[in-house]
Amino acid sequence: MDRRYTAWKKNRKLGDVYGGRRWTKREDNIFKRCHSLKPPLPTDSLPILIEDNPSRDFFFPISVQEADQTLKALPKHDYEGITHIWCRRAKKSDIVNGKAPWAEYICGSGVRIVILYPWPKTMKLTWPNKPSNRTINEFKRFGVDICRSGKLWLAKPTVAQLRKLYIELLLYHEVGHHIELSSWRWSKANNKQAEEYANQYAIQKSATATHIFNRLAKRSALIEN
């Protein structure tokens, strides 16, 4: 796979050292950490879909094909220009230590890619300290309670809750960054504005997220039966 450095990277983490939520930051030393793919050919169907083997301890709550269907439930002008969707394997140590984001948007060198990372099969997400009210309320939107468990604070979503979270909180959030980056040039001064735009975009598309979630659930039920 041909790799070149990209110009810009946006990632979303759902927590600090033990998981949870960490508000996103754009990296200063971007060229040392970002990843890129060979730009698509004019004859390629977009987005190009890539799905790694997530390893035995992790899984992708939505497949790359489902992510593609979810993306295309949006207005075409919102996702137009996204070249790749990548369900990408992450190092176990990076996930456990909170170094890996749960989703990323990277663009540059002819590539605009949304990356989704796998979730632990234990389904658990933990915090060493009580999360902020904003984090607690955000998880509540998906029916997930954050409770005290020993010395930690714990969230354990069901598979259904997690699938909806990946669709709205992660995938549609990154689409929001795709739109805002396509509309204006980013700088450190407007970092907060960019993050708020992506948050609001995902919230505004919650009805679409619910619709596609229900459609995918019905399709899975038909296949199983």
Which residue is it, tokens 């805002």? 180
Assigned token pair, 160: 């259904």
Q: Other CB atoms closer than 10 Å to residue 43's CB: what's the count?
A: 5
Whether the predicted pLDDT of 90 surpasses 60: yes
Helix (H, G, I), strand (E, B) or coil at 116: strand
| pLDDT tens by residue, 95-107 | 766 677 889 998 8
pTM: predicted TM-score of the whole model, two decimal places: 0.81
| pLDDT tens by residue, 172-221 | 999 999 998 887 655 555 677 888 889 999 999 999 999 999 988 887 66
Compute the C-alpha angle 208/68/42, nearest 5°.
125
Assigned token pair, 60: 């992708």
Is the distance from CB of 129 to CB of 167 less than 8 angstroms? no
Which residue is it, tokens 């890539």? 50
| pLDDT tens by residue, 32-54 | 344 557 889 999 999 999 999 99
Whether the predicted pLDDT of 4 surpasses 90: no
Is the distance from CB of 124 to CB of 153 less than 8 angstroms? no
Is the distance from CB of 178 to CB of 77 less than 8 angstroms? no
pLDDT of residue 25: 36
* Side-chain-side CA neighbours of residue 181 (13 Å): 24
Higher pLDDT, 119 or 185: 119
Where exactly are the structural domains of the chain?
8-224
The alpha carbon of 146 is separated from its chain's Cα centroid by a whole number of angstroms, namely 20
Compute the C-alpha angle 111/87/122, nearest 5°.
150
